[in-house]
Amino acid sequence: MKVVLANDHGAVELAQRLKAHLEGKGITVNHLGVFTEESVDYPDIAKKAADEYKKGGYDFGIVCCGTGEGISMAANKIQGIRCALPVNAFAAEKAKEHNNANFLAFGGRITNYPDSPEAMVDAYMAATFAGGRHQRRVDKLTALESTR
Ligand code: RB5
């Protein structure tokens, strides 16, 4: 399994934590940074992660900013990216099962997640896309990409 990971200055520590967690499970992580708290713009980071993901060979992507909000919004503007911002492990599981999310977003400045980002990533990875009626809905999501 291979994951692309990228973060802005609001999630330097969280990204390192997630990288260590995934590597501890034998998963290859391509961490694109950033690695310092020098201010950067989350849309640039989301674009960088999506561009890398689209090169192929990745199972999914993780993007992190201070809250996860801005970077998930940015990622979801990019064709082919379905980025979930899960509130807990249940939502992370359903993001895969129902929405076939290919990106997860987390906030490095969120200190009171009910389930840890690591637990949410694990729940997502343990899930399988259910297809069927969910495929129809994901197809409709994809069709919205060309909405003006
Ligand atoms: C950066 O200060 C902060 O705005 C960013 O990390 C993120 O929280 C935006 O949604």
Structure tokens at 48: 């960088």
Q: Which residue has its alpha carbon closest to ligand 1 atom 10?
A: 70
Grouping H, G, I as helix, E, B as strand and the rest as coil, residue 42 is helix
pLDDT for the residue 36: 98
pLDDT for the residue 79: 97
- Count of alpha carbons within 13 angstroms of residue 69, beta-carbon side: 4
- Tell which atom from ligand 1 comes closest to the C-alpha of 9: 6
pTM for the model stands at 0.98
**pLDDT grade for 8, boundaries at 50, 70 and 90:** very high
60 contacts: CB under 8 Å, gap ≥ 6: 3, 53, 101, 102, 103, 104, 124
Q: Which among 106, 125, 80, 94 is positioned nearest to 12, based on CA atoms?
A: 106
Q: What is the pLDDT of residues 67-111, one digit of tens each?
A: 999 999 999 999 999 999 999 999 999 999 999 999 999 999 999
pLDDT for the residue 126: 98
